[in-house]
Structure 1
Amino acid sequence: MAGGLFALLDDVAALARMAAASVDDVGAAAGRATAKAAGVVVDDTAVTPQYVHGVTADRELPMIKRITIGSLRNKLLIILPVALLLSQFVPGLLTPILMLGGTYLCYEGAEKVWHALRGGEHHDTPVSENGPDAEKAMVSGAIRTDLILSAEIMVIALNEVADEPFLSRLAILVVVAVAITIAVYGVVAIIVKLDDIGLSLTQRRSSFARTVGRWLVVGTPRLLSVISVVGVAAMLWVGGHIFLNGLHELGWDPLYDVVHHLEHAVHEAVHGPLGSTLAWLTNTAASAVFGLAVGGVVMVVLHVVPRRPKGAHAH
């Protein structure tokens, strides 16, 4: 009896060690997958603060909370099941779906560039004063954009762990989804509250704290303006990059090859870390230009091409 009990305990201990090893493996794989998607994570962090621009201070964190919940839903309830099922049964559909998402990002970025060039209206009235519908629309827009960026993040992570068993892939992608969402929107929350933190510091007794507080109060609006520009550039870069890679995956290489050759030429011309950085910037700039072109075409189709009025008849 005692021998059977000790044997059972040994089996339980062995299972526990196996489970711990599996957890370690999942954690390590999730770390690799997250690192691989780091570029898109930075873009996601840059894009989001523009959606709370012009919002009163008391509504910033509630809006970010709603966007965070929407982002988790995007990743866990929409992207994760679809990506796993498609990768398991019809992997060829992943690329066209990503390209559609990339096209949407290109369109959003191109539209913002167009409004900036036209000197579009700037609304100084806080969104919350325009009613709950305006705030709801901004949150919905942020969640739609997050859906595309999250899809790119999750597919990159999925490709990194494609050789893992199905349940391991599922666990790894859940870890990636939760970790990235918390990281991105935690950073966004800090960014949009920097001015409030600075205002609080200006009321401290310490002269150093007051100096830092004044710097934050003055610098935060400028930082948000820079982030807004970076966010638009990120939309165009990520959208263009998705589209170019999609064309490459589908076997149409001319545009992809042009960008790749430009990147390679810069890397060959300048050696070392500087060359790698300049090569990456070349690829990024080329992808953004291509994204702007794709977005411009979509804009023309949706907004500029004259439409025949209803009820008009040819004579």
Structure 2
Amino acid sequence: MKYSLLDVAWVAADETPADALRGAVPLAQAAEQSGYQRVWYAEHHNMPQIASAATSVLIAHVAAHTERIRVGAGGVMLPNHAPLVIAEQFGTLAALHPGRIDLGLGRATGADQPTARALRVTAASAESFPQDVLDLQGFLRGEPPIPGVRAIPGDGTNVPLYILGSSPFGARLAATLGVPYAFAAHFAPPALDAAAETYRSTYRPSPQHPEPYLIITANLIAAGSEEEARRQHRASQRHRARMMLARGRDLTDAEIDAVLDSPAGQQLKAMSVHTAVGTPSQVHAQLAELAARTEADEVMLAPAADDRPDRIRAVQLVSTPTPLGVV
């Protein structure tokens, strides 16, 4: 079983974004020491709880404080950026940290509508995603889509691309391009099986990837005892409900539990149905079942406990015997 780490530099209630950014390093170091393949950071905007908006900057920071683990974006929301700029940014990272940089790409904006306007993104931006991926791929291969325009740094670095998605659209695009595909099962589970089947059944081999490579994300809560893991899981559910369903209301645990038992709360819990909870052996078994069901080559874990020490401990407990490798 290959494990990897997905992080957003979560900002706790008593923290600043600077605290969260500094805290990303020990979590990545724990993943490296535990044999994880890679750590990815996701681009989100205008979210006070998430500090990973400038993914390339955070990647540079974490890569400078780790030694072997691959570090990348999971992902860059390409409609927000010109492909040339992303090729330059990740080409710079590849020059600084050879053989360790990944570039996952999504077609959403990672933002609400007012923030999308601030990013100068339109509804049509996502429609050009397939062509933007090809343009970016060309810049990184040293085959620029616009003659005479080279990404420096970036030109010829061949930074590996991954398509991210939560629907069969991304699966079909990744299969057509012959690149790895990562499905966001940690928050968007409904289309998981259809997307996994679509990706494998329609995959077109490429020189870099003769075989399909599927990454599935899942939430992680692990502790030394099942009881403690269940406590952390319930606390995490309450926190999500307060953040998403009870904004501006100061509710007791009993009141927020009632919210969680409501139809809206049940829908919220369904979003995170792919959460491995328990002791290390229980978590390994749950993740193995998920990987077997989807024929996943790798499971990327998003630690979901409220407290950073608990997230770090979960990564340390759920280690992998698979050596760090390059995919």
| Interval containing the TM-score (normalised by the shorter chain) | under 0.3
TM-score (norm. length: structure 1): 0.22
Higher radius of gyration, 1 or 2:
1
The structure with the greater share of residues assigned to strand is: 2
Q: Which has the higher contact order (CA 8 A, sep 6+)?
A: 1
The structure with the greater share of residues assigned to helix is: 1
